[in-house]
Amino acid sequence: MTDILIAGAGPVGLTLALALHRRGIEARVLEKREGLSTASRASTFHPPTLEALDEVGVFAGLRRSGVQVDRILWRRVDSGDFASSAAPQAATLDLGILRDETRFPFRWHREQHYLTPALLGALPPETVRFSAGVAALHQDDAGVTVTCDDGSMHRARWLIGCDGSSGAVRGLAGIAAETSDYAHRVLRLLTPLDLRAHVEGLDGLGYLYDAGGSCSLLRMPEVWRLIFRIAPETPDDAALAEDHARARIRRFLPHLADMPISGRDVYGVRKAMAAAYRAGRVLLAGDAAHLTNTRGGMNMNAGVHDAMTLAATLRRVLDGGGDALLDGWARARLDTVRGALLPRTDARVAADPGGEVARMAAMTPDQARAWAREASMLDIAKAGAP
Ligand SMILES: Cc1cc2nc3c(=O)[nH]c(=O)nc-3n(C[C@H](O)[C@H](O)[C@H](O)COP(=O)(O)OP(=O)(O)OC[C@H]3O[C@@H](n4cnc5c(N)ncnc54)[C@H](O)[C@@H]3O)c2cc1C
């Protein structure tokens, strides 16, 4: 019998497998797809996540391929010359303010589908079985037996559902979830134009505001992402249309309305929270347990924190610490989702665009440090660690 079975070879399942492996615990991963996902999803890695990836031994190899973001810019575009850092309603925050609290006082931008191959490559061969979606499970006092849709059966002392928001494990374990949709969807445009040359004060992340809305600018290794909210009544094809895309750019970056656009998509944003992280010998981590808006870039990061704290807890349990430790972990992680992850994301979504820049500009150094700690998830990453 394997110690741990993990459903799902996304960033959370693979981080968990590697963190367990580093602690001398045998884990097997069952993945429904034929290979790793290459979908364009998370781009933002916060400091405690970088610490985690460093601890499991993959960040050093990835670091130079991504973008280090040292400074965040907020700027009103309807209050004078928005391209000038002297404009009254602009604010910047240097994440170096966190240097006493983390070895990585910056955000790091890279598509998550570059992380998963690095995690997979660091695992022993044969750790992941592809084309093996978990289809059924049965628990008893000693373990969990899993049946996959390729007909294979597997048994372990614990099963961890890291199979994402539409995975099977949560439902099979009888854990309910509260779900809802955010009212808006998101239009994402990609441009190869280096926006740092055109927006003064911009490093790798900027939020541009007018009285009625905002546009986020994220620097990726080869492109910039421009992110806009789309009203519920706007159909996808209308949002993606050239005229609409250009009008959105013109509203926030009038001098760059003709910038090259190398990619575009629209995605919906959902919110979900499992009622519990544990049902007997089945535990959840990552999107299987929580889903938030992409604003602030926290959900995958929280999943990696789930994985790291769970690996440390399972080591203690397997060393004879008693499985009540898992209840403590499950409670702490759920409290973090309910008390910090979801409300923190929702507050960013609901922020009044007209007042956001002034609020950031008015912060004292202590307030700025507290804001940066929260935005970087330094205050919640270790919740549940033994
Ligand atoms: C556009 C976009 C931008 C985002 N940006 C950010 C960001 O900047 N920062 C951030 O922190 N988060 C971000 N997110 C969220 C982030 O992508 C997810 O939180 C992250 O992928 C969750 O990882 P996961 O491993 O839990 O789940 P997933 O990545 O969904 O992986 C789950 C895996 O389980 C597999 N699976 C499904 N069902 C089964 C089954 N029955 N049996 C076995 N395997 C199964 C799936 O095939 C998949 O490989 C973004 C999301 C989107 C859509």
Query: If you take atom 21 of ligand 1, which residue's CA is the nearest one?
Result: 300
Comparing 36-45, 112-121, 352-361, 374-383, the range with the smallest average pLDDT is 352-361
Q: Is the pLDDT of residue 131 over 70?
A: yes
Q: Is the pLDDT of residue 82 over 80?
A: no
Distance 331 CA to ligand 1 centre (A): 22
Query: Is there a domain that residue 44 lies in?
Result: yes
Query: Is there a domain that residue 17 lies in?
Result: yes
Query: Is there a domain that residue 258 lies in?
Result: no
Distance 167 CA to ligand 1 centre (A): 10
Q: What is the rounded average pLDDT of the residues 80-92?
A: 60
What percent of the chain clears pLDDT 90, i.e. is strictly above it?
86
Distance 147 CA to ligand 1 centre (A): 22
Q: What torsion, rounded to 10 degrees, do the Cα atoms 305, 44, 292, 193 define?
A: -170
Query: Ligand 1 pocket check: which of 119, 219, 290, 300 to mutate, most ligand atoms within 8 Å of Cβ?
Result: 300
What percent of the chain clears pLDDT 70, i.e. is strictly above it?
97
Q: Is the pLDDT of residue 87 over 50?
A: no
Task: Give the pLDDT of residue 114.
Answer: 97
Query: Rounded CA gap, 64 and 322, in Å?
Result: 42
Owning domain of residue 149: 2-66+110-180+270-351
Distance 38 CA to ligand 1 centre (A): 11
Task: Give the pLDDT of residue 57.
Answer: 98
Query: If you take atom 4 of ligand 1, which residue's CA is the nearest one?
Result: 42
Query: Is there a domain that residue 382 lies in?
Result: no
Q: How many domains does one find in the chain?
A: 1
Q: Is the pLDDT of residue 188 over 90?
A: yes
Query: Is there a domain that residue 242 lies in?
Result: no
From the CA of 11, give the closest atom in ligand 1. 25
| Residue 83 binned pLDDT confidence (cut-offs 50, 70, 90) | very low
**Alpha-helix residue ranges (DSSP H) falling in 23-161:** 47-55, 59-62, 112-122
Residue in this structure with the two tokens 């541009």, named with its chain if needed = 208
Query: Ligand 1 pocket check: which of 18, 34, 41 to mutate, most ligand atoms within 8 Å of Cβ?
Result: 41
| Residue 79 binned pLDDT confidence (cut-offs 50, 70, 90) | low
Query: Is there a domain that residue 220 lies in?
Result: no
Task: Give the pLDDT of residue 85.
Answer: 46
Query: Is there a domain that residue 105 lies in?
Result: no
Distance 143 CA to ligand 1 centre (A): 26
Query: Is there a domain that residue 128 lies in?
Result: yes
What six digits make up the tokens of 193? 């134009």
Task: Give the pLDDT of residue 53.
Answer: 98
What six digits make up the tokens of 370? 């507290």
**Which CATH number is 16's domain given?**
3.50.50.60
Q: Is the pLDDT of residue 80 over 70?
A: no
Q: Is the pLDDT of residue 212 over 90?
A: no
Task: Give the pLDDT of residue 349.
Answer: 86
What six digits make up the tokens of 94? 């240097």
Distance 165 CA to ligand 1 centre (A): 7
What six digits make up the tokens of 338? 């309910």
Q: What is the pLDDT of residues 221-278, one digit of tens each?
A: 999 999 999 988 999 999 999 999 999 999 999 999 999 999 999 999 899 999 999 9
Q: Is the pLDDT of residue 81 over 70?
A: no
Task: Give the pLDDT of residue 183.
Answer: 81
Q: What is the DSSP string of 241-288?
A: SHHHHHHHHHHH-GGGTT----EEEEEEEEEEEES-SEETTEEE-GGG
Q: What is the rounded average pLDDT of the residues 75-102?
A: 77
CA atoms within 13 A on the CB side of 166: 2
List residues near ligand 1 (CB under 6 A). Answer: 7-13, 30-33, 37, 41-44, 112, 133-134, 162-164, 167-168, 267, 286-287, 294, 297-301, 303
Query: If you take atom 20 of ligand 1, which residue's CA is the nearest one?
Result: 300
| Residue 363 binned pLDDT confidence (cut-offs 50, 70, 90) | very high
